Amino acid sequence: MQTYPKKRIDIMVESPLMKRVLTLLDQHGVTGYTVLPALAGRGVDGSWHRDGLVGRVGAVVQIFCILDEARVDAVLEPLFNLVSRQIGIVTISDVQVIRKDHF
């Protein structure tokens, strides 16, 4: 089966920042993304769990999108400017898709 190379951007941020990230993706023509709740994890500051949190502050979400490599830099620069001042992680991976026109 024919596959096509694309880039996947994964963004982990505290939930109050989610709407700003989604607005940024919309403004830069990202045609699709998915948001998932992060339930637990471990980082530089130790382990954390979503259990026991009151409200959205401290809760973390993962936002991921897939796009053409030529568009990555245009999205990453403003995304870095937004996330660098907050708690968050951004990663970029190579992926293969079977429907190249969707991204």
Count CB-CB contacts under 10 A for residue 57. 9
Quote the pTM value. Answer: 0.85
Pair 69, 6: CB distance under 8 Å: yes
In order of start, what are the domains of the chain with their CATH numbers?
4-102 (3.30.70.120)
Q: Which residues pair with 11 in a beta bridge?
A: 63, 90
Task: Write the pLDDT tens digit of every residue in 56-101.
Answer: 556 889 999 999 999 999 999 999 999 988 888 999 999 999 998 8
